[in-house]
Amino acid sequence: MFLNESTIGRTLIFALATCMTVSLAASRAAAESVILVDVETGKVLHAENATAPWYPASITKIMTTYVTLRAVKEGRITLDKLLTVSANAVAQSPVKMGFPAGTTITVDNALKMLLVKSANDMAVVLAEGVGGSIENFADLMNRHAQQLGMTQSHFVNPNGLPADEQITSARDMAILARAAIKEFPEYDYYWHLPGIRFGKRVLRNYNTLIGRYPGADGMKTGFICASGFNLVATATRDGKRLIAVVLGAPSSAGRAIKAAQLLERGFASDGLGWLTPQLGTVEALVPVNAEPPNLREDMCGKHRKKQATEDEDDSAAIASLLSASGSAYSVFLSALRAPDPKNKQALLQQDARLGEPVVVHIGPAKKLGEPKNDPKAKPKSAIANATPAAGGPELASRTNDGVPAPRPKPKVVRTAPPAAQATATPSTATQAAPRPAAPKADAKTAGAPKAAAKTASAPKADAKTATKSDANAATKPDPNKTDAKKK
């Protein structure tokens, strides 16, 4: 009897442990929300927990960019408009550019820093520049969200820093990404910038699909402890553009790989759509009324050996995935691995593959050809930066391509008639015409010595004026006058 009870007890304990394992696995599976949508049609190609509420983190900046570009398109602001970094922007938590208060920057450069570096301070700069304050800008964000049908989204800040009221869903982010692509095709380049160059600093896009996954062309990453690793990614092949949204991935590499798997699934399903169940359009998905999951313990708990961050090094995770034989994404995973910093050749190859970073700067917009790299760079020469004299022409003006413009040619000075030259002082004669060969001495002159003739640098006609009449002198041609006409 005892043995039977013991056996039953062990069986119950094992069953309980199994249930707990299954429950944890289900919880981990439920802690990811994904969706795949066709940009052109809006059809949902795949979805898992797509309508579950979620903390957006920095993918909030897609809405920040949408509101800013809407203001640009409506003429309420320009890309060249100068915005000022406020004390409120300086106070934002990293990741940020870190400019001091009072720094000015254009809307264009702030957008580039926002989307590549995911700079929280630039989000506030744009919010205050477009809406006047963070509160007013948040109202604009929520108004646009309602107009787009983002029924599960609510925003209280422009950068996605932790806030209980900042909520979205994979469904809503797919709707927003599709609207941004279709409404602002002229600004599509903002979504797939490979990197930015500020002075000597080069910052690469956190979206690791860009330059690595074939056809990848946007959009934005995000991470806070409560949300996990989020990613909205787009890719285009053969004219077909897809949107993949991944929320709650366990790592930066995990979200990139999951997005790549979704995109591959969408591109590979061409011609086989009739085999898969129809999920309708993204707007037609029914929202779930629930609280967003909080993944803080999973992402940032004490069990983690290293704190999870947006710019974490994924080399170890990628290496472990690569070691799995038969991986369908081995080529893509290999591209995700960061090269050895000591291997300059590998670094150059990576830069060539990822694309040239875009130059950004503080201050007003630069004209084409003006130096943008380093605001502390010394001028190449004093002439190139000389201040023009008051009322006079600029000595070293530059053309639009940065090449110094040619200086104006000096005016040609025509010599006076010989009669006038006879009465000129030696210094005036020297300035008026180039010095000709010295004339021979004339015995019939008024006693002018050879030295005086050389000092005055007078032409032959002048040397003979003392003994001949002005009429005779005028009949001889003036070589200096002839040269002046040729010039």
- Catalytic positions are 58, 61, 118
Amino acid sitting at position 381: S
Element (H, E) at 134: helix 134-148
Terminal alpha carbon distance of the chain = 127
Cβ atoms of 198 and 211 within 8 Å: the answer is no
Which residues fall within 8 angstroms of residue 70, CB to CB, at 6 or more apart?
A: 144, 183
Which residues fall within 8 angstroms of residue 437, CB to CB, at 6 or more apart?
A: none
Place of tokens 């599709």: 178
CA-CA distance, 253 to 262, in Å (whole number)? 14
- Please, what sign has the CA dihedral across residues 131, 133, 134, 140? negative
Residue 136: φ, ψ to 5°: -65, -40
Cβ atoms of 280 and 44 within 8 Å: the answer is yes
Q: What is the DSSP letter of 50?
A: T
Q: Count the Cβ atoms, other than its own, within 10 Å of residue 391.
A: 5
Q: Count the Cβ atoms, other than its own, within 10 Å of residue 271.
A: 7
Q: Count the Cβ atoms, other than its own, within 10 Å of residue 309.
A: 13
CA-CA distance, 186 to 179, in Å (whole number)? 13
Tell which residue, 305, 293, 315, has the closest CA to residue 248. 293
Q: Count the Cβ atoms, other than its own, within 10 Å of residue 97.
A: 26
Quick one: tokens of 58?
A: 């920095």
Cβ atoms of 439 and 463 within 8 Å: the answer is yes
Strand positions, DSSP E, 238-284: 240-249
Quick one: tokens of 224?
A: 């806070």
